[in-house]
Amino acid sequence: MASRNHEAITGAILDEDSELTLSELCRACGLPAEHIMALVEEGVIEPRSRARLRFSGICVRRVRRVHSLERDLGVNLAGAALAIELLEEIERLQARVARLEDSGQG
């Protein structure tokens, strides 16, 4: 029988209650601080505190999605910001439809 090597995958679960510093967000997303700050200026993400630059864990997902749009599709920052808003609205609507269908009201 062949031996299998298994690597343990570890990480933190980030949600709205999680809080990251600018450097932690940069590390989590693999992007320089300048790029993160451009996302703040564009309104893609908003720090909880501008004085201390603390971000919610949800920002990691948004930053990664925007970066994917920029890198993979060549979308500019403003276009990526708009696309993220539309994608998130679609997700909200899909969740609402699913709840309505589950409750028998669909």
Q: What is the CATH number of the domain that holds 23?
A: 1.10.1660.10
Residue 5 has pLDDT above 90, yes or no: no
Residue 3 has pLDDT above 60, yes or no: no
Instruction: Specify the pLDDT at position 55.
Output: 94
Whether 11 is covered by a domain: the verdict is no
Whether 77 is covered by a domain: the verdict is yes
Whether 91 is covered by a domain: the verdict is yes
50 φ, ψ (degrees, to nearest 5):
-75, -30
Of 3-17, 21-35, 80-94, which gets the smallest average pLDDT? Answer: 3-17
User: How confident is the model over 86-102, as a mean pLDDT?
Assistant: 95
Burial annotation 20-46 (CB, 10 A radius, 16+ → b, else e): bebebbbebbebeeebbeebbeeebbe
**% of the chain beyond a pLDDT of 90:** 70
Alpha carbons within 13 angstroms on the beta-carbon side of residue 104 total 0
Taking the C-alpha atoms of residue 37 and residue 54, their distance in angstroms, rounded to an integer, is 12
User: How confident is the model over 44-69, as a mean pLDDT?
Assistant: 91
Whether 50 is covered by a domain: the verdict is yes
Residue 84 has pLDDT above 70, yes or no: yes
- Indicate the number of domains in the chain: 1
Residues spanned by the domain of 78: 19-102
pTM of the model: 0.74
Residue 38 has pLDDT above 80, yes or no: yes
Among residues 53, 54, 34, which one has the least CA distance to residue 42?
Answer: 34
User: How confident is the model over 89-101, as a mean pLDDT?
Assistant: 96
